[in-house]
Amino acid sequence: MTENALARHIARLIQETGPIPLSHYMALALGHPRYGYYMTRDPLGAKGDFTTAPEISQMFGEMLGLWLADQWLQQGAPRHFALAELGPGRGTLMTDILRAIRSVPGMSEASEVHFIETSPVLREMQKVRVPDATWHERIDTLPRLPLFLVANEFFDALPVTQYQRTDRGWCERYVALEGERLIPVLAPVPLANDAALPPAMKNAAEGEIAEISPASTSIAEEMAAHIAAEGGAALVIDYGHEKSAPGDTLQAMKNHAYADPFAEPGMADITAHVDFEMLVKAVRGGNAQAHGPVEQGAFLTALGIDGRAEALSRNATASQRHDIETALQRLTGRDEMGSLFKVLGITPRGSALPAGFA
């Protein structure tokens, strides 16, 4: 086991209490207040461990901003609303959204920016780009206003619970200590009631893994309930699968390469693919309307990203035009982010089909 403070902390915890649920391990690895991955570093960019769409091009945030603007206008242009982001990274996405909505008369003046962010390191970076924002630890402290929200690569970092089908039934996956190594193990007693598992898991073969994320569905339902009660709209953009299916999608990224999720807790980003079918059910449970998911490439193309790329290229140098074309391909190409990433829209019940979801 790599010698780091969080690894030693988890090892002591296991020695004292026994193996811990995978969801608990993931929460500690990412969010421990002193040693958690997101609490101690800027994970983005060439010097970090991964790159998100807003860091690739301003076009991504501009398209999302114009989508939110269209929803704002369709809902009667509320004179005061919360413009919120879950997990806003460096603040890059919100900066691009704010620039885009300035072209819509009255929208910037009506907006009040709110960030849901737990990382002190990232909060400091966000304050430089969006100094007038208000910060929150949880979504339930957002003001009771119409809510126009984006969540880009937020849900993939929320803890997951895993179960493996055995001849005894579904057994939860835990993390144990073997010598000095942290390893996944199965609980000795099977799950008494599998009602929480997606219906797609009912016919899973022995050895297959079921993943659920109670934190994800709880936040999605709460977000939907807010929009149902106060008005607004939301976009969830993340990588994952449209339909629930068995499979172990837990992965770690370090220095832009895959790593062992159990080798260096707190030193690598740990994520799991988002189950959009479960998010859709949660949105409906919150009494809001779900749209999609659709592939990111198709969504951005429908919103006019090709035209925006062309406009940016007109006054660009040859090098800049190449960068714009490369960014467009990364965001929309089927062999890049275009098909792996999905977009889920959330609006009040009875609202018209939003742009990008035809």
Q: How many domains in the chain? A: 1
Q: What is the mean pLDDT of residues 329-358?
A: 95
7-16, 36-45, 164-173, 225-234, range with the lowest pLDDT: 36-45
Residue 169 lies in a domain: no
Preceding peptide of 105 cis, ω within 30°? no
Three-class secondary structure of residue 204 per DSSP: coil
The answer to whether residues 337 and 297 touch, using CB atoms and an 8 Å cutoff, is yes
What are 282-302's pLDDT values in tens digits?
999 999 999 999 999 999 999
What are 113-167's pLDDT values in tens digits?
999 999 999 999 999 999 999 999 999 999 999 999 999 999 999 999 999 999 9
Residue 292 lies in a domain: yes
Residue 242 lies in a domain: yes
Query: Chain-wide mean pLDDT for the chain?
Result: 94
Residue 40: band (very low, low, confident or very high) from pLDDT cuts 50, 70, 90:
confident
**Distance in angstroms (rounded) separating the CA atoms of residues 288 and 351:** 10
Residue 2: band (very low, low, confident or very high) from pLDDT cuts 50, 70, 90:
very low
What are 225-247's pLDDT values in tens digits?
999 999 999 999 999 999 999 99
pLDDT of residue 1: 41
Share of the chain above pLDDT 90, in %: 89
Whether 46 has a pLDDT exceeding 70, the answer reads: no
Share of the chain above pLDDT 70, in %: 97
What are 105-115's pLDDT values in tens digits?
999 999 999 99
- Looking up residue 251, the CATH number of its domain turns out to be 3.40.50.150
Q: What is the mean pLDDT of residues 296-313?
A: 96
Residue 325 lies in a domain: no
Q: What is the mean pLDDT of residues 186-201?
A: 91
Higher pLDDT, 319 or 1: 319
First to last CA, the chain: 50
Three-class secondary structure of residue 186 per DSSP: strand
Q: What is the mean pLDDT of residues 253-265?
A: 91
Residue 315 lies in a domain: no
pLDDT of residue 4: 87
Residue 197 lies in a domain: no
Residue 47: band (very low, low, confident or very high) from pLDDT cuts 50, 70, 90:
low
Q: Which residues contact 51 (CB under 8 A, 6 or more apart)?
A: 44, 45, 256
**How many CB atoms neighbour CB 195 within 10 A?**
6
Residue 138 lies in a domain: yes
159-163, 254-258, 305-309, 317-321, range with the lowest pLDDT: 254-258
Residue 49: band (very low, low, confident or very high) from pLDDT cuts 50, 70, 90:
low
The answer to whether residues 168 and 102 touch, using CB atoms and an 8 Å cutoff, is no
Enclosing domain of residue 127: 39-159+213-296+341-348
Residue 207 lies in a domain: no
234 burial type by CB count under 10 A (0-12 exposed, 13-18 middle, 19+ buried):
buried
Q: What is the mean pLDDT of residues 28-35?
A: 93
Higher pLDDT, 90 or 358: 90
What are 194-230's pLDDT values in tens digits?
888 999 998 899 999 999 999 999 999 999 999 999 9
